Chain A
């Protein structure tokens, strides 16, 4: 197992390197200008714009800029944002709590509810509960987040005036009052995301459990006279969990990427929103930093998923 892990870590390094080159090349080749906002401003004549461009190092050819970036990455510096001139790491540190508070919680809730619902759906296949759960799973998967987000805003914020729809990132939870406020402002983005995630996860769990239910060892357990609870939770559930856990592990990096659209709609201003605004503004250092972190997380969680799989399924042996 140890050699396996080490081997995987060593192959990860060239993978990340190639990823960074590809992303950098694409960004450099893409049309667009971090200074385009100044184009029509009569107070900023062309000479001043040229000066700005030179100051930001945008004058150099792209391979020089790539090596400069690599050199600072090796030192652990992710560079400075073009628009706010603060270190990329600072930006990430500021945005991460918002993303975790909304997207992280949404994923957690989705997993928390999806697993039991999926199991119950499979065990009581085609019952009323199953029909309702399946319907909502379909809705969750098919309705895009910008649709459900806008729908929720119209119903709960505008018509019913129950919840605020603009997320206040400065709210610090110190007492029950502020906790209530935090719940009120995050319940909509969390439910939008959870609904979407739950759809996928419920269906997947259900299918996995259904696969295991007709198996011989389950039949043996029934034949031995074990109660349903024991059959399902001690025998079927752990075995069905194997593919589900790998799915969850592989979707962990998505928490970091944030839910771009939901964050925009509710102004949660987390990592996803940072990624999209930096891409639209051609803020290369930020985009490079975020995508690099994201790729590193994907590689890492792939490894984690493989290891977990190895633990859960005794038939798998790594060397």
Chain B
């Protein structure tokens, strides 16, 4: 009964079994194709007809489909767009709540609830840019059968602008003096001052119209308790059957939807949670889901999943989200104590244009884009990327946008920074040593390594810092590690994908917007950048009314910032960066609006 067997036998057996199991899954990883062989991102045919154009002799296909399964790796937690905190909430509510107009893939507005898009030409926008008049579609109904009217639009304005509602979309309606319903189907918006950006209100994701009847009692401080937050009634192609916050939303087809031939699917399941890699697997390898959002997966892994899986396609178009390195024009030296990174403390070497140029020319953005992003991004040297008329073609020719280590070294020598015995450049008692910070993210850490390698080649000592995202983007005044304090020489992040309106992105380079201790670092000019020439040019842009001249000024402002090396752009990220099943039709990638912007048109 006391047979003593060798305990090593147990271990040997376990190791054997484990290695067999590991062997079973070893094969997929050895077949990784090189990033250059990744399948090209699908570019769906440009949207020709707006969703509202009356289809000519299209057979009725409403409800012919089964269930559409969508997977986001962040789960929706609230369905009221005006209280939503993240893209997941904005997108999941877009199936139900619609704006007056959407932004199409070409960054131009497309009528949704409006009968047509008001412009200067058709008189919808007044010549003095003080008013815009929206004519609404006739006969549109809410999903509960009641009529949609201009009163709902006016109510949405009152709801969003109410300070106690604490709507996240409030900024879109800030400039408005009043919104009136001229009749049941006409809404007139009057601005506080002439406004050349007249599509900022009621358009795209932030313009979702709420039903007055449903939310009338829930305006102000009571807003967060509204039952409609979890089950809003909308005009969209679907209505909500079941919502488990943080988990899944189940939608049924809206029988009162205005287009009788849509939507195709009878039911939609919008699931959230997990991570991006398994989401990619679910679309590309197992076909369990039809659409997966934001596949922030390493380029090589994603390419392998797509080719070995064979069940899906990558959906990506360049967006205006730019991954960039921000230059600190103030001195973040901890020895300065309270005065750390204050605008009056000039940076010891980054205030010199030649030095900044050298740093810019030692950044290899091409390698970063190809190795780390693949089809998910494109190397760029522009700050403003968007529609053709606002995207500069001049920066590609600028010397500061090339990767040239020799020229960079030469510039630093010219500026008087000589290499010391340890290989680090110095001038007098100041050594060229920098701290480069970003958020904790595998791809970002790799980007940091590539940049560090380049800067070390020009004799700079680089210290890398990685901060957890919730801390890095925490805006409170007490958090020293956030981007607002900028207690580093360089920091890297990307802006969220934004609608075509560019003014907030440009205004944050002007002197009045400098973030500092006095304003608790609340303002948006985090670089402490102050250039009177730029301020003057920006003023000219603000006053400019002619849209063509305006667009040209955007390009000029962009070129100014790049030439002055106020920042070092790296990659224009793809947005959307998603996956769809091969049999899913009608998906039109759109960088300017929600990924669900034309979900009524999807079919199989």
B residues less than 8 Å from A15 (CB atoms): none
Residue of A nearest to B245 (CB): A84
| A86 with B245: CB separation less than 8 A | yes
Shortest C-beta distance, A123 to chain B (Å), equals 10
B residues less than 8 Å from A212 (CB atoms): none
Q: A32-B470, A39-B483, A40-B495 are in contact. Are A95 and B247 (CB under 8 A)?
A: yes
Q: A49-B475, A154-B25 are in contact. Are A267 and B83 (CB under 8 A)?
A: no
Q: A31-B471, A35-B85, A158-B285 are in contact. Are A269 and B246 (CB under 8 A)?
A: yes
Among B17, B275, B499, B524, the residue within 8 A (CB) of A43 is B499
Q: A40-B495, A169-B247 are in contact. Are A33 and B18 (CB under 8 A)?
A: no
Shortest C-beta distance, A222 to chain B (Å), equals 12
Q: A33-B470, A165-B282 are in contact. Are A48 and B274 (CB under 8 A)?
A: no
| B13 with A33: CB separation less than 8 A | no
A residues less than 8 Å from B2 (CB atoms): 125-126
Instruction: Report if A25 contacts B (CB, 8 A).
Output: no
Among B456-492, those with CB < 8 Å from A are: 468-476, 479, 481, 483
A52 to B165, CA, bound (A): 9
Chain A CB within 10 Å, residue with most, of B28, B247, B272, B275: B247
Instruction: Report if B504 contacts A (CB, 8 A).
Output: yes
Q: A51-B170, A169-B247 are in contact. Are A33 and B474 (CB under 8 A)?
A: yes
A274 to B244, CA, bound (A): 12
A residues less than 8 Å from B391 (CB atoms): none
A158 to B474, CA, bound (A): 39
Chain A CB within 10 Å, residue with most, of B11, B13, B77, B269: B77
Among A35, A157, A159, A266, the residue within 8 A (CB) of B475 is A35
A267 to B248, CA, bound (A): 10
Among A55, A85, A98, A143, the residue within 8 A (CB) of B78 is A85
Among A32-86, those with CB < 8 Å from B are: 32-33, 35-52, 54-56, 80-81, 83-86
| B85 with A48: CB separation less than 8 A | no
A275 to B590, CA, bound (A): 34
B residues less than 8 Å from A56 (CB atoms): 166
Residue of B nearest to A34 (CB): B85
| A166 with B282: CB separation less than 8 A | yes
B residues less than 8 Å from A282 (CB atoms): 470
Instruction: Report if B252 contacts A (CB, 8 A).
Output: no
Q: A36-B475, A42-B496, A86-B230 are in contact. Are A166 and B274 (CB under 8 A)?
A: yes
Among A40, A143, A155, the residue within 8 A (CB) of B18 is A143
A-B contact pairs, 11 of them (CB 8 A): A41-B498, A48-B171, A80-B224, A86-B230, A91-B245, A139-B17, A153-B281, A155-B21, A165-B288, A277-B75, A277-B273
Among A125, A159, A169, the residue within 8 A (CB) of B248 is A169
Among B166, B225, B274, B494, the residue within 8 A (CB) of A40 is B494
Task: Kindly specify which of A112-120, A130-138, A241-249, A252-260 makes contact with the partner chain.
Answer: A130-138
Instruction: Report if B426 contacts A (CB, 8 A).
Output: no
List 5 other contacts, CB 8 Å, given A32-B474, A126-B5, A139-B17. Answer: A45-B171, A55-B164, A125-B1, A157-B286, A170-B269
Shortest C-beta distance, A57 to chain B (Å), equals 11
| B481 with A81: CB separation less than 8 A | no
Instruction: Report if B577 contacts A (CB, 8 A).
Output: no
Among A43, A51, A84, the residue within 8 A (CB) of B498 is A43
Residue of A nearest to B309 (CB): A158
Among B246, B483, B496, the residue within 8 A (CB) of A84 is B246
Residue of A nearest to B12 (CB): A135
Instruction: Report if B278 contacts A (CB, 8 A).
Output: yes
A residues less than 8 Å from B473 (CB atoms): 33, 36-37, 39-40
Residue of B nearest to A32 (CB): B470
Shortest C-beta distance, A88 to chain B (Å), equals 11
| A135 with B10: CB separation less than 8 A | yes
Instruction: Report if B442 contacts A (CB, 8 A).
Output: no
Among B86, B172, B246, B288, the residue within 8 A (CB) of A164 is B288
Shortest C-beta distance, A17 to chain B (Å), equals 28
| A94 with B274: CB separation less than 8 A | no
Among B222-259, those with CB < 8 Å from A are: 224-225, 229-230, 242, 244-248, 250
Among A262-287, those with CB < 8 Å from B are: 264-267, 269, 273-274, 277, 280-282
Among B5, B470, B483, the residue within 8 A (CB) of A31 is B470
Instruction: Report if B260 contacts A (CB, 8 A).
Output: no
A37 to B76, CA, bound (A): 13
Q: Per-position contact with B for A149-173: 1 when CB-CB < 8 Å, else 0?
A: 0010111011101001110111000
Residue of A nearest to B269 (CB): A170
Instruction: Report if B9 contacts A (CB, 8 A).
Output: yes
Among B13, B163, B273, B504, the residue within 8 A (CB) of A267 is B273
| B271 with A166: CB separation less than 8 A | yes
Q: Mark B residues whose CB is within 8 Å of A.
A: 1-5, 9-11, 13-14, 17-18, 21, 24-25, 28, 71, 75, 77-78, 83, 85-86, 163-164, 166-172, 206, 221, 224-225, 229-230, 242, 244-248, 250, 269, 271-275, 278, 281-282, 285-286, 288-289, 468-476, 479, 481, 483, 493-496, 498-499, 504-505, 522-524
B residues less than 8 Å from A95 (CB atoms): 244, 246-247
| A269 with B85: CB separation less than 8 A | no
A residues less than 8 Å from B245 (CB atoms): 81, 83-84, 86, 91, 94
In the A-B complex, list the 3 residue pairs whose CB atoms are closest, starting with the nearest. A39-B473, A33-B474, A55-B166
A residues less than 8 Å from B272 (CB atoms): 269
| B278 with A37: CB separation less than 8 A | no
A166 to B471, CA, bound (A): 31
| A40 with B496: CB separation less than 8 A | yes
Residue of A nearest to B320 (CB): A42
Shortest C-beta distance, B520 to chain A (Å), equals 9
| B25 with A85: CB separation less than 8 A | no
| B224 with A166: CB separation less than 8 A | no
Residue of B nearest to A49 (CB): B475
| A51 with B273: CB separation less than 8 A | no
| A155 with B172: CB separation less than 8 A | no
A40 to B85, CA, bound (A): 12
| B14 with A138: CB separation less than 8 A | yes
Chain B CB within 10 Å, residue with most, of A31, A52, A56: A31
| B21 with A151: CB separation less than 8 A | yes
Shortest C-beta distance, A267 to chain B (Å), equals 4
B residues less than 8 Å from A155 (CB atoms): 21, 24-25
| A267 with B274: CB separation less than 8 A | yes
| B281 with A158: CB separation less than 8 A | yes
Q: A51-B163, A86-B245, A139-B18 are in contact. Are A164 and B75 (CB under 8 A)?
A: no
Q: A51-B170, A264-B275 are in contact. Are A161 and B75 (CB under 8 A)?
A: no
Shortest C-beta distance, A230 to chain B (Å), equals 19
Residue of A nearest to B13 (CB): A135
Shortest C-beta distance, B19 to chain A (Å), equals 12
Shortest C-beta distance, A86 to chain B (Å), equals 6
Q: A84-B78, A91-B246, A131-B5 are in contact. Are A55 and B470 (CB under 8 A)?
A: no
Q: A45-B504, A46-B522 are in contact. Are A33 and B171 (CB under 8 A)?
A: no
| A31 with B479: CB separation less than 8 A | yes
B residues less than 8 Å from A94 (CB atoms): 244-245, 247
Among A180-195, those with CB < 8 Å from B are: none
Q: A39-B473, A161-B286 are in contact. Are A269 and B75 (CB under 8 A)?
A: yes
| B17 with A264: CB separation less than 8 A | no
Q: A52-B166, A126-B3 are in contact. Are A85 and B224 (CB under 8 A)?
A: yes
A residues less than 8 Å from B481 (CB atoms): 31
A305 to B407, CA, bound (A): 74
A161 to B281, CA, bound (A): 12
| A131 with B9: CB separation less than 8 A | yes
Shortest C-beta distance, A312 to chain B (Å), equals 28
B residues less than 8 Å from A37 (CB atoms): 85-86, 473
